[in-house]
Amino acid sequence: MSAGDLSAAPLELAERYLEIERPEEALAALARATPDEDPERYHLLRAEAHLLAERPEAARDAAALGLAVEPESIPLLLVRSCCHERLGELAAAEESLLGALRQLPDEPALLCRYGRLVARGGQLDKARRLLAEARRVDPDSREAARLAMLLDYLAGDDRAAAEGGRRLLADDPEDSHGVAMLGLTLLERGDHGAAREVVVPAAALDPERLGGLAREARIRTHPLLWPLWPLQRFGSVPVWFGAVGLILVTGRLASPRVSSILALTYLAWCVYSWVVPPLLRRWVVRRGR
Amino acid sequence: MSTDDLLSPSLRDRQEAEARPPWRLSSQVWIGLLGGALPVTVIGWLNAERLGLERERRTWILVWGAVGVALTLLAVGWAVVASRGDASAQRTWTRLASRAVGLLTYLAISRVQAPADRAFRLFDGRPYASLWGPGTAAVLLLGMLQALGAMALTRWVAQ
């Protein structure tokens, strides 16, 4: 057996551990290897392991060590970009991602990833141009469909975002990411029943990712919150204008007495809307434990 | 627009978001209701810094805030004229007008903040900061400042 085989074995082992999401074992395997044989792969695996173990700082440093040896490595640039993004360092994430994108400017997945990053930074127009570019290269790209939905959601176009989400799920009903985005969009629109129908069954299959959203959908469709539907449907400001208008008109047309009963009812309803939802949320969280 | 232009960095010059997490957008409605246009604008502006809002969008908060304060003063002037010397009616209408304009200002300002707020909720993972302290301070101090301005205007209109 040659020396090359001996040092390659730990890397393969680490790869297997990462596939089954056991980062600490992967790092232990890598500790037995030396970087010299295949530095790109060695540092990449270390970075991925740290990232999987929720240590983005360590992962970023591991990727930087690899990039010092292989400055043009696309996988290393991408993993470093991901670390920076996780740490909220958007400008550094952009620099790494562009390093990869300049080598593969026609790759829809990378274009979409960049679109997502600039969208996170608030640059929705540029994100839309990147989306158009990705679709020019591949009109059926699934990443592009996801980015389109994200951009509609961020721009506040919940109707378009929900349509995009339904199309994504029509292609692949078990896509957790699509379920999460669609559920979030439907909750945002005040369409809580539909959100519950989408999210709760999917959460049974992927509780880790969708459990929190399913709980939120359950809370918002609870019978105790039914009296608050105008708030969810119209928003607090239009409801205030409606209530005050009604109180003023009845005071003028009917009697001051009817008007003050209405005012007291509205006030009681407001108090209900402050007190009941937080209590219900606390109760559901406690029961869920 | 060429690809070269698309692939040049644009996040470098961006105003980085502050380390402190932002305030919940829906909580700001109370500041509009209880304090009026001026405090909800100031809170919206400070929140824009926390969200790392683009400079151009941030300017819109000031624009809507200025429109809101001007509308408040107009509405107060109208309330004084419409109530024809009836002090109780004048108080009611002044208060209602200030609240109505405060809520409309909130609507406009929250729309400016909304995309960055959604991005925070989706990507950041930290909880919102509490608005209780800063909100109460804004309502009391700036709301009072705005009320004093309105009162001075009332006197001037009444003369």
Q: Given this model, what pLDDT does residue A287 score?
A: 83
Q: Tell me whether A87 touches chain B (CB under 8 Å).
A: no
Burial A16-38 (b: 16+ CB within 10 A, else e): ebbeeebbeebbebbeebebebb
Burial of B23 (0-12, 13-18, 19+ CB in 10 A): buried
B14:A121 CB<8 A: yes
Q: How many interface pairs between A and B have CB atoms less than 8 angstroms apart?
A: 82
B14:A90 CB<8 A: yes
Chain A hits for B16, CB-CB cut-off 8 Å, are: 90-91
Residues of chain B with pLDDT below 50 are 1
- The secondary structure of residue A228, as a DSSP letter, is G
Residues of chain A with pLDDT below 50 are 1-7
A120:B123 CB<8 A: yes
Q: What class has domain A1-103?
A: mainly alpha
ipTM above 0.95, yes or no: no
Return the residue in B8, B11, B28, B61 with the most chain A beta carbons within 10 A, the one to mutate for interface testing: B11
Q: Given this model, what pLDDT does residue A206 score?
A: 85
Chain A hits for B96, CB-CB cut-off 8 Å, are: 244
Chain A hits for B26, CB-CB cut-off 8 Å, are: 236
Q: For residue range A78-97, what is the model confidence (pLDDT) as tens digits?
A: 999 999 999 988 999 999 99
Amino acid symbol at B26: S
HSE-CB of A237 using CA atoms within 13 angstroms = 21
Q: Given this model, what pLDDT does residue A35 score?
A: 86
Q: Given this model, what pLDDT does residue B42 score?
A: 97
Note the pTM of the prediction, 2 decimals. 0.86
Q: Given this model, what pLDDT does residue A33 score?
A: 86
Q: Of all helices (H) and strands (E), which one includes residue A108?
A: helix A108-120
